[in-house]
Amino acid sequence: MPHVLKSNTAIVTGAASGIGAAIAEAYAAEGADLVLADLDRDGAERTAARAREFGVRASAVQVDLTDAKATEKLVAEAETTLGHIDILVNSAGMLTEVPLIEMPVRTWDEMIAADLRSVFLCCRWTAPRMVRRGTGRIINIASQLGIKGGEGLVHYSAAKAGVIGLTKALARELAPSGVLVNAIAPGPIETPLVDGISADWKQAKQAELPLGRFGVPAEIAPSAVLLAGNPSGNLYVGQVLGPNSGDVMP
């Protein structure tokens, strides 16, 4: 079986951990050269080292993706390193749990910056380069909570609903230029992101899932390969894939 992403290049954000790390490894296994961006330099470097074992080029960049100038620099340098950018995966994000009636305004602002502004910024600097080349794939990691909402997660749900809206609007803008934009909205996945969520929530959540269990990052990565691949991803435009244990059925 040929490597479906051979000769492709990708920026993967949030690649130090969890879903971003799993996508980076899956892309490396499929032959893509990578720039891996994260706040966590050591974690990103560990993922890059695992990626290089597949024989691809992979480098790690420490960056705060809420910072407009730093993100612009990341994308410009990634283009230099990789030669061009075929694929952008926006997986960086964070999660906190606070009821709205107790939520500090700063907590709201931090969430919107980390989980929505970062996606806008990475798209903002990458999309023009893809449009110039007349080809590209952007894959945004949203969440099923952006569709159904979650208690104590008003800020997270709003940010992820924003990612879904951004994905659909940008998909309409860019499809005529050959750039395909889609989202993946996972259900609960076992990563450090959900470590901070209460045990009660996790137990109740697991019980209500038709599949009866959370997913693992390696079960999300194949959706990102599908959306990036040619021809597997060619007809997906503004779609929201739902590997979510049956939590949301559109």
Ligand X SMILES: NC(=O)c1ccc[n+]([C@@H]2O[C@H](COP(=O)([O-])OP(=O)(O)OC[C@H]3O[C@@H](n4cnc5c(N)ncnc54)[C@H](O)[C@@H]3O)[C@@H](O)[C@H]2O)c1
The one catalytic residue in 4, 119, 154, 156 is 156
Tell me which of 26, 39, 51, 174 binds ligand X, using CB under 6 A.
Answer: 39
Say if CB 213 and CB 221 are below 8 A apart. Answer: no
Contact status, residue 139 vs residue 87, Cβ threshold 8 Å: yes
Whether the Cβ atoms of residue 91 and residue 14 lie closer than 8 Å to each other: yes
- Element at 183 (helix H, strand E): strand 179-184
By the 8 A CB rule, do 185 and 244 touch?
Answer: yes
**Contact with ligand X (CB under 6 A) among 8, 47, 143, 167:** 143
The binder of ligand X chosen from 9, 59, 118, 245 (CB under 6 A):
118
Q: Which of 103, 112, 194, 218 binds ligand X (CB under 6 A)?
A: 194
| DSSP annotation string for 72-114 | HHHHHHHHHHHSS--EEEE---------GGG--HHHHHHHHII
Q: Contact with ligand X (CB under 6 A): which of 5, 11, 12, 19?
A: 19
Contacts to ligand X from residues 46-65, by CB under 6 A: 63-65
- Is 156 designated active site? yes
Regarding beta strands 9-13 and 33-38, do their DSSP bridges make them parallel or antiparallel, or are they unpaired?
parallel
User: Is position 146 an interface residue for ligand X (rule: CB under 6 A)?
Assistant: no
User: How many Cα atoms sit within 13 Å of 178 on the Cβ side?
Assistant: 11
Stretch that binds ligand X, among 87-95, 131-139, 199-207, 223-231 (CB under 6 A): 87-95
What residues contact residue 11 under an 8 Å CB cut-off, 6+ apart? 34, 35, 36, 37, 74, 75, 78, 82, 85, 87, 88, 89, 122, 126
Taking CB under 6 A as the criterion, the residue among 5, 16, 61, 154 binding ligand X is 16
| 25 vs 38, beta carbon nearer ligand X | 38
The pattern of x and - marking residues 209 through 248 that bind ligand X according to CB under 6 A reads ----------------------------------------
Q: Provide the minimum distance between the beta carbon of 176 and ligand X in the complex, in angstroms, as a whole number.
A: 28
The nearer residue to ligand X, 178 or 192, going by C-beta atoms, is 192
Interface residue with ligand X, options 47, 191, 223, 245 (CB under 6 A)? 191
Two structure tokens written together for 76: 């410009």
Break the chain down into helix, strand, coil percent, rounded to 5. 50, 15, 35
- Shortest distance in whole angstroms from residue 87 CB to ligand X: 16
The residue whose two tokens read 């954000």 is: 13
Contact 87, 137 (CB under 8 A): yes
Residue span binding ligand X (CB under 6 A) among the ranges 24-32, 126-134, 189-197, 227-235: 189-197
Shortest distance, CB of residue 40 to ligand X, whole angstroms?
4
Catalytic residue numbers, as ranges: 156
Site residues (vs ligand X, CB under 6 A): 14, 16-20, 38-40, 43, 63-66, 91-95, 114-115, 118, 141, 143, 186, 188-189, 191-194
